[in-house]
Structure 1
Amino acid sequence: MTRNFNFSAGPAMLPTAVIERAREEMLDWNGSGMSVMEMSHRGKEFVSIAEKAEADLREILTIPQNYKVLFLQGGASSQFAMIPLNLLKDKKKADYINTGMWSKKAIAEAKRFCEVSLAGDTSENNFTTVPDQRSLVLDPDAAYVHYTPNETIGGVEFDYVPETGDIPLVADMSSDILSRPIDVSKFGLIYAGAQKNIGPSGLTIVIIREDLIGNPADGIPTMFNYATHADAGSMYNTPPTYNWYVAGLVFEWIKDQGGLSAMAEINRRKAEKLYTAIDNSGFYANPVAENARSWMNIPFTLADPGMDAEFLSGATQRGLLTLKGHRSVGGMRASIYNAMPEEGVDTLISYMQEFEQKNG
């Protein structure tokens, strides 16, 4: 069997070693005679899996003890509503930084529950950069400040963590979590859909400071209350058990690679290679400001958009899959998350150079 290089923005590649481990344990996990998919989430077997996954994630990210780690469902899109419902408390306002499609979705949902102020907005330059710290306009009456460190669609990434003083900072890290070390203590809440750097779709990780739990909006649905999940160890209802298990295998794999410092060096190198190939070409272009270029999602266009279909067809023949850009942006997009091996990036660059020589 040949594994192709899948550049999908999500669901994305998983490490081959993780898939092989899951295959080996599919019918019988650790001599239990059961597949993880068949286990009760309250049985000792799965509880041990869940506890180890959380412990490994805490170790990898150096999560402080005063933070809860929740393994939830509903994707990042559910968090767009859960955040204002839980964090507004007695306030009426929240600050949002608008840097792309996912920021816009979060803003639209928050407006259902509170007054949203734009602390920063890069829509005028078509979301090709990020606002610098000095340009942010923060409302002292805001309950929290929300931003998206990496915009998957536009390939825009913050090169700094916004300073918000005593106002909790909330981050949608769906597409860059676990790609490098972060200081969790700078954030009030971090959330991430699993399907890019963590595991299969269907699982959402929330890392939340304990003081932000327990004072939700009146009438909030039980399942939208962070306290519900924190008090029940993320098992108030049946969680996505198999996804949680695979996420745990990914956490083990990251530790085996040398942790997040090692992952950061690999990711930096992969991104630099691809950006260099684009910049040194007269055929390909990337629209994003250099200081805001994403390590994880790299969009690029061809000199002649009429060749897009031919480029994609040739890429597929070489085992380079899912390179078509998002419909709102066009062109190409290479998502090179943790599981994308360096060989995949090298193969893509080689194909790009070959295609340019033939058509440039």
Structure 2
Amino acid sequence: MSRAHNFNAGPAALPTEVLESAQTETVDFNNTGMSVMELSHRSPDYETVHNQAIASIKSLLDVPDDYEVLLLQGGASLQFPMIPMNFLPQGQTANYILTGSWSEKALKEAKLLGQTRSSASAEESNYTYIPNTSQLGLSEEDAYVHITSNNTIFGTQWQNFDLDWKSPLIADMSSDILSKPIPVERFSMIYAGAQKNLGPSGVTVVIIKKDLLNQSAESVPTLMRYDTHADKNSLYHTPPTFAIYMLNKVLNWIEQNGGAEGMRQRNTEKAELLYNVIDESNGFYQGHAQEESRSYMNVTFNLPSEDLNKKFLQEAKEAGFVGLNGHRSVGGCRASIYNAVSLESCQALKEFMIEFQNNNE
């Protein structure tokens, strides 16, 4: 059976090599006579996988020694309330930079738990850009600043973190973590659901500075405290063992393909194939994001009419392309080109887009 050209926004494509490797171990992992899904999370065989995954994240992202790497459940959305529960004390204000739907959702949860503000927002343009340095309105009085590094729905992405953030910087990197090198030392906390660049759904990676861990009030419930999970090596309760097993395999695949820098080169080449089609189409394909804010993970675009949008998506589906429907907030089309999406799939989409334009202008 041929593999689909999978452009789903998440859960997203996984490397074929990883899937094939997992397939061979489904019934008997590491000569245990059991699947990894059947192993005790306290067993040496599983703990080796668990610790390898944490070590690989530290290595691939050059995580400094004064950070912890946690593997948590609940998806990135559980971090939306956990962050203010732990780091937004009474009398202080958290600053949420709004660049799309997920930053809006993070802010909504924080408002339930403490005082917030939004010193910068791109909402008035339907999130076509990332606010520039002069628009950010940062303050030393902020308890923390929260950003969403890549916006899957609108197709925009932060290109620069080399700023004076003035207070702890926390980033939701669910859709671009390990798609390129990241200056981890610029952040107090990074969190990311795995199901776009790192593996299947079910596990969330948290990279957190150790000096944040002792800031939680005693009233925060045990399971919602980051120090609980740090103290127990993310084994306080049963972790999502199969998701972590797959995460470890994907991390190995990233390492074998050049690490974070290899992913940056790979993803840049893929994205430029598609953006070149858009830019050279004389307006037939209309990108949603402003050029300087374009995402290298999610390419969003519309065609000249809704009828052509529908025709494009239908013919693309018939040609073996999956997941190209745009979100209702933007409409049109979206190609999510995360780490595991192949250059060949992007080349095939490029050729399809050019042929569709030639047949429908």
1:93 corresponds to: 93
1:211-230 aligned within 5 A: 211-230=211-230
| Matched letter for residue 130 of structure 2 | V
| Matched letter for residue 357 of structure 1 | N
2:298 corresponds to: 297
1:143 has 2:147 as partner: no
Q: Find the aligned partners of 2:75 and 2:302 in 1 and give their Cα distance.
A: 30
Q: Find the aligned partners of 1:252 and 1:345 in 2 and give their Cα distance.
A: 23
Deviations 1:184-222 (A, max 9, x none): 111000000111001111111100000001222352221
Q: Find the aligned partners of 1:90 and 1:99 in 2 and give their Cα distance.
A: 26
1:43-82 aligned within 5 A: 43-82=43-82
2:3 corresponds to: 3
Q: Find the aligned partners of 1:340 and 1:30 in 2 and give their Cα distance.
A: 28
2:231 corresponds to: 231
Shift of 1:61: 0.5
Q: Find the aligned partners of 1:342 and 1:285 in 2 and give their Cα distance.
A: 22
SS at match of 2:37: helix
1:184-203 aligned within 5 A: 184-203=184-203
SS at match of 2:33: coil
Further displaced range: 188-197 or 273-282: 273-282
> Runs of 5+ in structure 1 lacking a partner?
none
**% identity of equivalent residues:** 47
SS at match of 1:12: coil
1:110 corresponds to: 110
Shift of 1:164: 4.0
1:131 corresponds to: 131
Task: Say if 2:278 and 2:286, in contact at 8 Å, map to a contact too.
Answer: yes
| Matched letter for residue 157 of structure 1 | Q
Shift of 1:165: 4.4
Q: Find the aligned partners of 2:266 and 2:279 in 1 and give their Cα distance.
A: 20
Q: Which runs of 4 or more aligned residues in structure 1 lie more than 4 Å from their structure 2 counterparts after TM superposition?
A: none
Q: Find the aligned partners of 1:317 and 1:151 in 2 and give their Cα distance.
A: 28
SS at match of 1:252: helix
CA RMSD of aligned residues (A): 1.2
SS at match of 1:313: helix
Shift of 1:353: 1.1
| Matched letter for residue 86 of structure 2 | N
| Matched letter for residue 303 of structure 2 | L
2:346 corresponds to: 345
Q: Find the aligned partners of 1:136 and 1:144 in 2 and give their Cα distance.
A: 13
2:31 corresponds to: 31
TM-score by length of 1: 0.98
1:285 corresponds to: 286
Deviations 1:126-148 (A, max 9, x none): 21011111221123221110001
Shift of 1:21: 0.7
| Matched letter for residue 293 of structure 2 | A
Q: Find the aligned partners of 1:331 and 1:221 in 2 and give their Cα distance.
A: 43
Q: Find the aligned partners of 2:139 and 2:113 in 1 and give their Cα distance.
A: 17
Shift of 1:162: 5.7
| Matched letter for residue 343 of structure 1 | E
2:307 corresponds to: 306
Task: Say if 2:271 and 2:297, in contact at 8 Å, map to a contact too.
Answer: yes
Deviations 1:33-72 (A, max 9, x none): 1110000001111000101111111110011111111100
SS at match of 1:94: strand
Shift of 1:87: 1.3
SS at match of 1:68: strand
SS at match of 1:254: helix
Q: Find the aligned partners of 2:122 and 2:314 in 1 and give their Cα distance.
A: 34
SS at match of 1:208: strand
1:249 has 2:249 as partner: yes
TM-score by length of 2: 0.97
SS at match of 2:50: helix
Task: Say if 2:110 and 2:116, in contact at 8 Å, map to a contact too.
Answer: yes
SS at match of 1:234: coil
